[in-house]
């Protein structure tokens, strides 16, 4: 079987190109050595199950440890109805796992599990089992989210918590370490002490150590997967360039890194040349953003299913608000759990540029549906804006200005204030679709600049969208755009200004100006809407 880039399930070194995560495994192992109980809670497809597999394999090869890896996924709901069913089912899962590494201990469980009728019985049996094993037994439970909303499972966690505390006091024997794996942080769950005490709660897992290990891939770690790929296939590629670009677009999100590599390897690369061209990464990004997959579906569902989350994300991606990252805030914590945002120097930022583009596209489509009868859709885009195979950005802006003048009215003013930028993205999308790519970047501050970097047939264009906030801010914006052009080595940039002033005739105005940046002349084409 040929190795491949894997985006589903556990990654196996013999079957899949893999990132070397030995430093992460080392950090997790130290937690286990210190007898910690902890939760690996990260968003979907973040490498949790693969990390658990590698950790399990490492401990299995250490004679001091006895790792047990189980999951409640796929066993049905009946097990959670009674303590007897749960206790025996739990022991059956352990026995099955141990049958591959210790037949003696597996038989020990099988001979006694039918006598276990309650969590109290289970607690006593765990004590006997730990003594019998005579090793550091590490319990790993994957996919705990399926069980975390079940009272019986929480009572089970509470039992493990009590045994942990007694073990530390020298009054019991229990698992050396317990590792729970899922999306949500079980530590924050609440447990009702007794059915008749409706308002008394206690955390079933407040003993858990903080898990602060970065599970995303660094540039250096991404390079190790590319090295594995190159050594296996003989394909030529610039590892430094691609590891840097992969990180740039994904911020190290494991699924996205592997998915882009998979697209390049299986869809884009010329199999005869066996070489990755540098332009392949942008092509892969465009291909990925057209893709329908469970990761993207989950992201959009999590945004759409909660109005607070939707409004919060919109404030970040469209309004450029610098919102302080406070993990205890309900919405911020939820967005972090879902993988929508991350903490960047104390400020909430979209997790990665792929998600940013995906969310823009999703919000843009909603604008298109809202304006489905608009004259925007009457234009022959390719014929009108592409000349000699090249995008004419001036024509794009002038036609959009014409569209806005035609559509703009008092009754639509509120809509344009909020969605004018999305409306432009909806206008631009079919023009460059299939050939070009538009990457958005919001700049914070009072001006709330909204920059778009357009690539079309290997040529780059810098377009800035912003609302009118006065002449002083406008001049500052021109200088900022000029510096942005200098950064990319471009001579000309474009400025689209949404001007809602009623006392002027600015709407419909165009202007071409020149500014000097570092003794270099930069031209800016301005269009007012």
Query: Is the separation of the CB atoms in 397 and 496 below 8 Å?
Result: yes
Percent of the chain with pLDDT over 90: 58
Asked whether residue 103 carries a pLDDT value surpassing 50, the answer given is: yes
Tell me the pLDDT band of 374, cut-offs 50, 70 and 90: low
Tell me the pLDDT band of 378, cut-offs 50, 70 and 90: low
Sign (positive/negative) of CA torsion 501, 506, 511, 516? negative
Determine the average pLDDT of the residues in 374-383.
Answer: 57
- At 136-149, the pLDDT tens digits run 999 999 988 877 66
- At 153-163, the pLDDT tens digits run 889 999 999 99
Cα distances (angstroms) measured from residue 81 to each of 119, 151, 186, 191: 13, 9, 20, 17
Determine the average pLDDT of the residues in 222-239.
Answer: 97
Asked whether residue 421 carries a pLDDT value surpassing 50, the answer given is: yes
Question: What pLDDT, on a 0 to 100 scale, did the predictor assign at position 211?
Answer: 94
Asked whether residue 444 carries a pLDDT value surpassing 50, the answer given is: no
Asked whether residue 494 carries a pLDDT value surpassing 80, the answer given is: yes
Q: What does residue 369 show for φ and ψ, rounded to 5 degrees?
A: -65, -35
Indicate the CATH number of 219-291 among 1.10.150, 1.10.3470, 1.10.260, 1.10.8: 1.10.8
d(CA 46, CA 299): 13
Query: Is the separation of the CB atoms in 292 and 362 below 8 Å?
Result: no
Q: 75-84, 157-166, 488-497: which has the highest mean pLDDT?
A: 157-166
Check residues 381 and 143 and name the one with the higher pLDDT.
143
User: What DSSP line would sit under 370-415, residue for residue?
Assistant: HTTTSGGGGS-HHHHHEETTEE-HHHHHHHHHHHHHHH--GGGHHH
Question: Class of 22-202 per CATH?
Answer: alpha beta
d(CA 372, CA 171): 70
Asked whether residue 426 carries a pLDDT value surpassing 90, the answer given is: no
Q: Specify which residues 29 forms β-bridges with.
A: none
Query: Is the separation of the CB atoms in 38 and 181 below 8 Å?
Result: no
Determine the average pLDDT of the residues in 71-82.
Answer: 85
Q: 8-12, 224-228, 360-364, 419-423: which has the highest mean pLDDT?
A: 224-228
Determine the average pLDDT of the residues in 456-476.
Answer: 85
Query: Is the separation of the CB atoms in 528 and 499 below 8 Å?
Result: yes
Determine the average pLDDT of the residues in 99-105.
Answer: 94
Query: Closest by alpha carbon to 83, among 155, 158, 173?
Result: 155
Q: 75-89, 95-109, 192-206: which has the highest mean pLDDT?
A: 95-109
Question: What pLDDT, on a 0 to 100 scale, did the predictor assign at position 201?
Answer: 44
Question: What pLDDT, on a 0 to 100 scale, did the predictor assign at position 377?
Answer: 53
Tell me the pLDDT band of 191, cut-offs 50, 70 and 90: very low
Tell me the pLDDT band of 473, cut-offs 50, 70 and 90: confident
Query: Is the separation of the CB atoms in 78 and 89 below 8 Å?
Result: no
Question: What pLDDT, on a 0 to 100 scale, did the predictor assign at position 503?
Answer: 56
Question: What pLDDT, on a 0 to 100 scale, did the predictor assign at position 449?
Answer: 57
Tell me the pLDDT band of 276, cut-offs 50, 70 and 90: very high
Count CA atoms within 13 Å of residue 229 on its CB side.
Answer: 27
Question: What pLDDT, on a 0 to 100 scale, did the predictor assign at position 407?
Answer: 66
Tell me the pLDDT band of 414, cut-offs 50, 70 and 90: low
Question: What pLDDT, on a 0 to 100 scale, did the predictor assign at position 200?
Answer: 39
- At 307-341, the pLDDT tens digits run 999 999 998 887 778 899 998 899 999 999 999 99
Asked whether residue 382 carries a pLDDT value surpassing 70, the answer given is: no
Determine the average pLDDT of the residues in 349-354.
Answer: 94
Question: What pLDDT, on a 0 to 100 scale, did the predictor assign at position 487?
Answer: 84
Give the distance, in angstroms, between the CA of residue 108 and the centroid of all CA atoms in the same chain.
43
Determine the average pLDDT of the residues in 84-97.
Answer: 96
Query: Kind of pairing, strands 510-517 and 492-498?
Result: unpaired
- Across 35-44, 190-199, 210-219, 266-275, least confident range: 190-199
Question: What pLDDT, on a 0 to 100 scale, did the predictor assign at position 379?
Answer: 52
Per CATH, 22-202 and 219-291 having the same topology is answered: no
Q: 191-205, 265-279, 296-310: which has the highest mean pLDDT?
A: 296-310
Mean pLDDT across the chain, nearest whole number? 87
Structural domain boundaries in the chain: 22-202, 219-291, 373-528
Tell me the pLDDT band of 441, cut-offs 50, 70 and 90: low
Question: What pLDDT, on a 0 to 100 scale, did the predictor assign at position 369?
Answer: 72
Percent of the chain with pLDDT over 70: 87
Asked whether residue 435 carries a pLDDT value surpassing 90, the answer given is: no
Asked whether residue 26 carries a pLDDT value surpassing 90, the answer given is: yes
Question: What pLDDT, on a 0 to 100 scale, did the predictor assign at position 170?
Answer: 96
Question: What pLDDT, on a 0 to 100 scale, did the predictor assign at position 454?
Answer: 86
Tell me the pLDDT band of 442, cut-offs 50, 70 and 90: low
Q: Specify which residues 515 forms β-bridges with.
A: 522
């Amino acid at each position: 079987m040929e190795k491949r880039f894997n985006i589903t399930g556990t990654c196996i070194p013999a079957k899949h190109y893999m990132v070397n995560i030995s430093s992460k495994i080392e950090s997790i192992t130290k937690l286990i050595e210190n007898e910690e109980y902890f939760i690996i809670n990260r968003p979907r497809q973040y490498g949790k199950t693969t990390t658990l597999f590698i950790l399990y394999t490492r401990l299995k090869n250490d004679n001091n440890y006895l790792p047990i890896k189980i999951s409640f996924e796929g066993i049905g709901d009946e097990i959670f109805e009674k303590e007897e069913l749960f206790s025996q089912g739990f022991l059956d899962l352990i026995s099955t796992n141990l049958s591959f590494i210790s037949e003696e201990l597996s038989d020990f469980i099988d001979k006694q599990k039918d006598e276990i009728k309650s969590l109290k019985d289970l607690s006593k049996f765990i004590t006997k089992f730990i003594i019998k094993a005579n090793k550091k037994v590490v319990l790993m439970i994957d996919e705990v989210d399926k069980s975390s909303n079940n009272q019986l499972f929480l009572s089970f966690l509470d039992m493990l918590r009590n045994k942990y505390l007694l073990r530390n006091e020298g009054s019991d024997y229990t698992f050396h370490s317990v590792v729970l794996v899922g999306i949500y942080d079980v530590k924050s769950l609440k447990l009702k002490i007794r059915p008749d005490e409706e308002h008394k709660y206690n955390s079933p897992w407040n003993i858990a150590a903080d898990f602060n290990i970065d599970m995303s891939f660094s540039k250096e770690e991404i390079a190790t997967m590319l090295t594995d790929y190159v050594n296996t296939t003989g394909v030529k590629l610039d590892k430094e360039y691609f590891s840097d670009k992969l990180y740039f677009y994904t911020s190290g999100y494991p699924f996205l890194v592997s998915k882009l590599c998979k697209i390049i390897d299986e869809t884009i690369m010329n199999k005869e040349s066996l070489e990755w061209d540098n332009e392949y990464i942008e092509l892969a990004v465009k291909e990925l953003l057209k893709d329908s997959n469970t990761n993207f579906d989950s992201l959009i569902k999590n945004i759409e299913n909660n109005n607070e989350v939707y409004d919060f994300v919109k404030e970040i991606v469209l309004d450029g608000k610098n919102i302080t990252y406070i993990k205890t805030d309900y919405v911020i914590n939820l967005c972090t759990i879902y993988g929508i945002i991350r903490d960047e120097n104390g400020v909430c930022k979209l997790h990665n540029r792929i998600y940013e583009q995906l969310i823009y596209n999703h919000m843009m489509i909603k604008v298109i549906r809202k304006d489905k009868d608009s004259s925007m859709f009457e234009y022959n885009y390719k014929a009108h804006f592409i000349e000699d195979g090249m995008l004419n950005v001036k024509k794009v802006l002038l036609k959009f200005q014409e569209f806005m003048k035609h559509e703009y009215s008092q009754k639509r003013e509120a809509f344009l204030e909020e969605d004018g930028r999305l409306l432009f993205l909806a206008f631009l999308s079919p023009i460059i679709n299939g050939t070009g790519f538009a990457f958005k970047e919001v700049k914070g501050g009072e001006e709330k600049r909204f920059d778009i970097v357009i690539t079309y047939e290997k040529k780059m264009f810098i377009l800035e969208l912003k609302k009118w906030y006065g002449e002083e801010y406008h001049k500052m914006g021109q200088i900022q755009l000029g510096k942005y052009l200098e950064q990319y080595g471009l001579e000309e940039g474009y400025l689209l200004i949404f001007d809602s002033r009623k006392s002027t005739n600015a709407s419909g105005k165009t202007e071409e100006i020149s500014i000097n940046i570092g003794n270099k002349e930069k031209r800016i084409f301005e269009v007012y809407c």
